[in-house]
Amino acid sequence: MAGVVVCHGSATVRERLVVTSIGVPSLAPVRAAATADELLALARRIAPTVVLLDAHLPGAGPTEAIRRLRAVAPSTAVVLLAGPEDGEALDRALALGARGFLAPDVGRAELAAVAAHVQASPVTGGAVVPGVPHPANPLQESQVVRADTGVAARPAEPTPVLTKREIEVLVGMSHGRSNAQIGQELFLSEDTVKTHARRLFRKLGASDRAQAVAIGLRRGIID
């Protein structure tokens, strides 16, 4: 794990994201860059696993930053920091292989879920982070929050009813634990954990662990 680089043109946003990322052990070490040149200099020394990239990056801009980063660190996963108004930039970023997008004021729990997903799946290009929709329909299921207002732009969603055990399994998933590890903590067999996982996937309408965690965070089932 080569950590995360927070690349954002705003010092205030950059510093907040660094502090937030430091609280996610799977993202260590945390480094920061204000421009594409600084990002590339860091990537040449040690290629990061994840880059959180400003959709309004000054200078070269996010599209050129991704192109140049791909030449230096092709396996690095890029997640754009953007809002629903940034559809064009998001489309270009996804076309270049970005994994998806998050609001600039993303919280620690959601960052942890995204980190777990990115580390669990290879960079294939154009794959959107589970729970974060394609920008062509940004408000369908996302927790996209406008950085300038702090108001969540999302429709009301019904909260599914999970059992206590299903919630405990979901919490274990959000911490990046395997089914076997969750079973050890809860004194359950791995097969029993898998049964609870299948049930909570069905209730949440999730296709995998990462999407289940993202939905659970978005709907306030876990924090």
| Domains, in order of start, for the chain | 4-120 (3.40.50.2300), 164-218 (1.10.10.10)
- pTM of the full structure: 0.59
Task: Collapse the DSSP code of 124 into the 3-class scheme (helix H, G, I; strand E, B; otherwise coil) and give the result.
Answer: coil
Compute the distance between CA of residue 82 and CA of residue 173 in angstroms, rounded to an integer. 26
φ/ψ (deg, to 5) at 33: -145, 145
Each residue's pLDDT tens digit, 146-186: 323 233 333 445 667 899 999 999 999 888 888 999 999 99
* Number of Cβ atoms within 10 Å of the Cβ of 60: 16
Q: Tens digits of per-residue pLDDT, 38-76?
A: 999 999 999 999 999 999 999 989 999 999 999 999 999
